[in-house]
A and B are shown apart, each in its own frame.
Chain A
C-alpha cells in the first residue's frame, strides 16, 4: 500500500483515497457481487453505474462496513475497512440510499448526534456545515417538517461533518427536482475541487455523465468497464448520420462500400436527435477515421453529400451495448 502511494507521488498523481480490490459477496447461494475492483483518487468524482439490482448498493454498503465482503478488501486512505473500521470510516462521509435521519429530532440535534460519534467536531463545525448546505435558517426545526430536498441536504451535511476525504453518495439525486439536481452537481464538483474524493452511484446515466470524471459500469454483479468517461466514449464506435442526394443511390453506394446501415435508428438513438435537420438521414456505425476515407469515394460515385454528422455515443448507448440491452429501469 505504502509503496504504491510513493509511486503515485513520484508520478505526480493524486493520492489514492479508496482502493477496492476484488470484492465478492455471496448471500446464501447467490453471488451478488463478484470481482469488483476500482480505485478513487483525491479530487476525483467516481461514478458507479448500473441498473437496479446490479449489485451497486451491495458494493456501496461493503465500502462503509454495512456488509461484510465474502472475499476481497476495501481500504480507505490505507486502512482496511474490515480490519480497522474505526480508523477507515473516520475518513468517510456517506449517504447510503436515502438520507435517513431521526425525524423526531431537529436538524441540529441530528447533527449533534452524528458529531458525538466522531472525535473533534466543534459546535462551529456544526454551524458551518449547516450553512454550507443552506439549511441554517431551519436547522432548529424538527426534521418531520422538512421537505425531501431539505432532508437530502441534511444528509449531506452529516456526511460532511467530519471533513471526510471520501464522500460516498448512493443515488444522491433520488427525489430531487431538476433545479436541486443541478445545484447538487455543482456542489459535488466544488467539493471535489477542494480535493475530496467522491463516489456517486446512480442508475441515471445522464447524471453520471454530467457529474463524473471516471466511471465503473456494473451489471449482474460484475464490472463491465471502467475508466475516464471521455476515454470510454472515444473508444466506442460512433454513429454517423449521412444526408445524401439522391438518397436511394446513396444507400446503395454505402452498402457497396461495405458500410453497416442501421435500419431502425430509433432503437439505438434518441429519437429527438434524428428529427429536424437530420430528418431522413441514413445512419451508419463506424470509427472516426473511416469517415474521412468514405467521403471521397462517395463523391467519386457521383453522390452529393449535403451533410455528414458524427453523433458521439452517450453513456446510455455504451451501457446498452455492454449489457446487451438489459433494461435499465
Chain B
C-alpha cells in the first residue's frame, strides 16, 4: 500500500489545504466586492510615489499631437497623420525624435479639449514632448455642416466663432502651463468646402478670420508657431484631400508635416548652435 497511500495522503492534504485557502479567498472577494472598504490613505500614498515627473530636457524633439481628427490623422490610410510624419521627418534629418502620444480624437471641439487638459495622462504626454502639435477649431466652426446642407447662417457662425476663440486662448494658456518649454505648433484651418461653389466664399471668409486670430494668439506665446495649410488645399483639393472631401489624405498630411518640420528646423538648428 506504500506508494498508493502516500499519493493519496499528499493529494488529500494538499487539496484540503487548497480548498480552505480558496474558500477564504472567495469569502474575502465576495465581501470586498459587495461591501467594499472605502478608499483609505493607502491610495493617497500611491499618488505620492507618483511624482517622478521630469521636465523635458532642452533640445528634446519628441512629438505629442493633441486635438481633432486632423491631429489623429483621419483620412490617412497609413494611420500616421502629421504627428508621426513630423517625428519621422525629424529622424530623417538626424534629430532624435519620437512620437510620445497622438491624443487626437475625432470630432473634438475646443470645449472638448479643455477638460482633457486636466487629465493626468494627457498632461503627462504633453510634458514629455518637445514639440506639441495642436489642431482644433474646425469642428467648432463646421460642426453639423456637410457638403449637402452647407454652412449655417452668418450670425450664428460669428457667435460660435467668438466663443471658440475664447476657448482657444484658454487652451493655449493651459498647454503653456503644463509645458512652457516645448514648441507649440498650431495647424491652422483650411476651407474644406473649397470645391463647393455655393459655400466656398463663406467658408473662405470664416477660415481666414479664424486663422488670423489663431496666428495672433500663437505669435503672442513664446515658442509658438502657426502653420498655414489653407493654400495647400485651395487648388490641390483633389491631390491632398481624402475620399471624404473633408480630411487630408496621406499626401496632404505629409505636406503639412513638411511645413511643420521646416518651421521647426530653424529652432532646432539654433538649439544645436546654442549647445
Contact = CB atoms under 8 A, between A and B. Distances in A.
Contacts of A123: 1
B4 interface: yes
Interface in B15-74: none
Interface string A93-130: 00000000000000001001000000000010000000
Contacts of B1: 112, 123
A112 B3 CA distance: 13
Interface in B185-215: none
A123 B1 CA distance: 9
A109 B1 CA distance: 9
A118 to B, nearest CB: 17
Interface in A69-83: none
Contacts of A112: 1, 4
Interface residues of A, number: 3
Interface residues of B, number: 2
B174 to A, nearest CB: 72
B1 to A, nearest CB: 7
A109 B7 CA distance: 13
Nearest to A106: B4
A123 B4 CA distance: 14
A128 to B, nearest CB: 16
Interface string B1-16: 1001000000000000
Nearest to A126: B1
Contacts of B4: 109, 112
A109 B4 CA distance: 9
A112 B7 CA distance: 15
A195 B75 CA distance: 97
Interface string B118-150: 000000000000000000000000000000000
Interface in A108-162: 109, 112, 123
Interface in B149-200: none
A39 to B, nearest CB: 40
B208 to A, nearest CB: 87
Contacts of A109: 4
A109 B3 CA distance: 11
A112 B4 CA distance: 10
Nearest to A105: B4
Nearest to B5: A112
A191 B4 CA distance: 32
B270 to A, nearest CB: 82
B5 to A, nearest CB: 9
A13 B119 CA distance: 100
A112 B2 CA distance: 12
Interface in A200-222: none
A112 B1 CA distance: 9
Interface in B82-114: none
A322 to B, nearest CB: 52
A112 B5 CA distance: 11
A222 to B, nearest CB: 48
B7 to A, nearest CB: 11
B157 to A, nearest CB: 83
A114 to B, nearest CB: 14
A142 to B, nearest CB: 13
B132 to A, nearest CB: 70
Which are the 4 A-B pairs with shortest beta-carbon distances?
A: A109-B4, A112-B1, A123-B1, A112-B4
Interface of A: 109, 112, 123
4 contacts: A109-B4, A112-B1, A112-B4, A123-B1
